[in-house]
Structure 1
Amino acid sequence: MNLQYISKLICGLLIGITFASCQKMDRPAMNIIPDDTARINGPLQLYLPFEDDLTDSAQYNKASEAGTFSFIEGPKGKAFKGTANSYLQYPLPQRLADAGSFTISFWMNTAKHTGGAQGIFVLPNTGDFWGNVFAIVEGNDSPTDNSMLLKFTFMGNWIEFNGNNGLSRLPDMYGKWKHLTFTYDGTTSVFAAYLDGVKLDLPQNVSNRTKNNAPLGALKFANPSRFVIGGFQQHIGISGARDSWMLSYTGALDQFRVFTRALSPQEVNNLYTGR
């Protein structure tokens, strides 16, 4: 092979490499941007998986915490475990104030307590003593009764699982993981509750919500500011000082979700079975 041929071959290779490099440089760089609009406007506005972390995986918000807490094994990965002096607060999810409808779903595992009521969560209302939406667990000092007196309230609508008015106490709730879901559909004014993925049979005066003898309709939460896990709104200084009966939640929570629509029974069951 003569030197002239080798020189031509090398030149050709160099030109090819240069051309190829130029072509690569002419291509626009990939710029992968998360669809923040879809996330902010989507129905899932708060999602707390508690995987050794307090971050809200729906809106990427960080919690402000108080007191001591820990992470334990949950139904899916890790879970949050509260104490008598702990609670969390999150910035208000973007679309929650004017949601109209909601689904609140979570796993809980708690022991019996005596005395006052433990606050599981609350969407505060700075102009109201109770808040917009909350759930509390009343004390149980019975050595044999494992049922739970739980109260769920939204916009002044009290749903008390206390054994009266057709609402039984929630059965076999202590010392094990139980899945709870509460939904309200603003288009039908229907409230529903689920235990371990199964819709509870509620009397019509509980499921069909009214105001002034008319359907309650779409909700608009008043003066919302934060979202509190494991306490009352008074724990963060809203509506005065905390009363002595207002206790932090000492149990565990996992897979805590808040949606701005009412999930269907199948969707709720999927949250339960999919853990």
Structure 2
Amino acid sequence: MDAPAEGPVEVPAEEPAEEPVEEPAEEPAALCDAADPSLIACFAFEGDPGDGSQHRFKPEQAENLSYEPGKGGQALRVTRKSSLRFRHDAAWAAPAMTIDVWINPASLPKSGRYAVIDSGGKPSIFLTASGEIRCTMGVERNVPYAVVPGEWTHIACLSDGQTQSLYVNGVEIDRSSSGAVLASGEQPIFIGSEEPSGKDEFDGLLDSLRVFGRTLAPEEICAAAGGNAC
């Protein structure tokens, strides 16, 4: 007797593959974290010269300032007639310090120097006519570096009171022994010009200027510089 014919075998349908779930991208950390106790001052220059740190420093003088598209958002445009000054505050009297900033000079000094930030000589950052970045905290160091007008350059000058370092675009280019970070006395803070004369004005754009009461770690400096070459 023949066996009954078997019917068609049903093959269970394959369930559609699950689409990969993309993790939401992490938002970049805010430039000015007012909850960070080590942040002495922070200037995003988003249309005003105010400080975004917990101290909320207000300028004593702010004249002939303008704002243009910057490295991130807006940037401060400094010219020969600009003036941005802040009174001395005890918060600046830190045994260790980092200043980091994006600069985009429209020109380089033909003689003398351009001030990025200055407080009685130290702490300070200048560009010199001889093609150097002058980083001064515990010690004055003129470090050769070819800053290019019209291009953004990230600078970080830091000292723990014993060792001073200069980073450009996230890479350390100078290290030396250092003394105390601050000069004696109570000098005000000038941004874009020399203290106390108001001369040696920077020519170009400044953006994302921060002052910390500690030395940033190399990876923090690299991240601030965009992390492309470090």
Q: TM-score, normalized by length of structure 2?
A: 0.75
AA paired with 1:43?
A: S
Is 1:198 the counterpart of 2:167? The answer is no
Q: In 1, distance between residues paired with 2:47 and 2:104?
A: 17
User: Structure 1, residues 114-165: CA drift from partner, whole Å, max 9, x if none?
Assistant: 23222211123xxxxxx3322222236xxxxxxx32222224x21012xxxx
Is 1:154 the counterpart of 2:137? The answer is yes
More strand by share: 2
Alignment-derived partner of residue 207 in structure 1: 176
Superposed, 1:12-91 pairs within 5 Å as 42-58=37-53, 59-91=55-87
- 1:171, distance to aligned residue in structure 2 (A): 2.7
Alignment-derived partner of residue 133 in structure 1: 123
Alignment-derived partner of residue 31 in structure 1: none
Is 1:273 the counterpart of 2:226? The answer is yes
AA paired with 1:83?
A: T
Q: In 2, distance between residues paired with 1:66 and 1:57?
A: 16
Is 1:226 the counterpart of 2:188? The answer is yes
User: Structure 1, residues 190-218: CA drift from partner, whole Å, max 9, x if none?
Assistant: 21111111222x3xxx5233xxxxxx4x5
- 1:182, distance to aligned residue in structure 2 (A): 0.9
Alignment-derived partner of residue 251 in structure 1: 204
Is 1:264 the counterpart of 2:226? The answer is no
Unpaired stretches in structure 2, ≥5 consecutive residues: 1-32
- 1:62, distance to aligned residue in structure 2 (A): 1.7
Across the aligned residues of Structure 1 and Structure 2, the Cα RMSD in angstroms comes to 2.5
Alignment-derived partner of residue 111 in structure 2: 115
User: Structure 1, residues 224-248: CA drift from partner, whole Å, max 9, x if none?
Assistant: 2321101111235xxxxxxxxx421
Q: In 2, distance between residues paired with 1:117 and 1:219?
A: 22
Q: What secondary structure does 2:116 align onto? A: strand
Is 1:178 the counterpart of 2:153? The answer is yes
Q: In 2, distance between residues paired with 1:46 and 1:181?
A: 14
Q: In 1, distance between residues paired with 2:217 and 2:89?
A: 22
AA paired with 1:151?
A: R
TM-aligned CA distance change 1:172 to 1:136, over 3 Å:
closer
- 1:65, distance to aligned residue in structure 2 (A): 3.4
TM-aligned CA distance change 1:272 to 1:160, over 3 Å:
same
TM-aligned CA distance change 1:119 to 1:235, over 3 Å:
same
- 1:67, distance to aligned residue in structure 2 (A): 4.2
AA paired with 1:195?
A: V
AA paired with 2:129?
A: G
Q: In 1, distance between residues paired with 2:59 and 2:109?
A: 26
Give percent identity, aligned residues only: 24
